[in-house]
Amino acid sequence: MWTLAAQTRENHHFTIGAGADIFPSFGQVGGTSRTAGPEAFFEYRYDVARHFDIGANISYKYSGGSVTHVGEGENHEKSLHFNQLNIKFVADWIIFRGRLIAPYIGIGAGGGVMYKNGASYARTDSRYWVAGPRAGIRIWRFQVSANP
């Protein structure tokens, strides 16, 4: 019986992934309006136990936007560009590991920095913390997830 379990066990204990998506931006961020933009990410996960992974996710996001200046005798809009760099540490519980379709739930926490650039606008940066749930499905070697 031990031999059979060893033959069906995966040969590796880690997962490396990369991907891209489009992230939406809702409402106002720091007094500016933002548009949706592309995101690229890299993720590394290590199998701690049969149904439990831990790892890290590094992502880069880009979006456009604008800020409107209203004042005495002045009312104009300036375009901005936002660049975000994030790192999150993640932990996932895989419900049916080893099957073709394996749903999972987890949590991620980390931080990042957002750079604002624009014409006639000084470059600024802001740092922030981020934490939130993760959920998705692993289908064979692909993963579809929702990470708010």
Higher pLDDT, 144 or 73: 144
Convert the chain into a string of H (helix), E (strand) and C (coil): CHHHHHHHCCCCCEEEEEEEEEECCCCEECCEEECCEEEEEEEEEEEEECCEEEEEEEEEEEEEEEEEEEECCEEEEEEEEEEEEEEEEEEEEECCCCCCEEEEEEEEEEEEEEEEEECCEEEEEEEEEEEEEEEEEEECCEEEEECC
Is 70 exceeded by the pLDDT of residue 73?
Answer: no
* Long-range own/partner contacts, residues 124-132 (CB < 8 A, 24 or more apart): 126/30, 130/86, 130/88, 131/107, 132/107, 132/108
Percent of the chain at pLDDT exceeding 90:
20
Higher pLDDT, 1 or 111: 111
Mean pLDDT of the chain: 76
Percent of the chain at pLDDT exceeding 70:
68
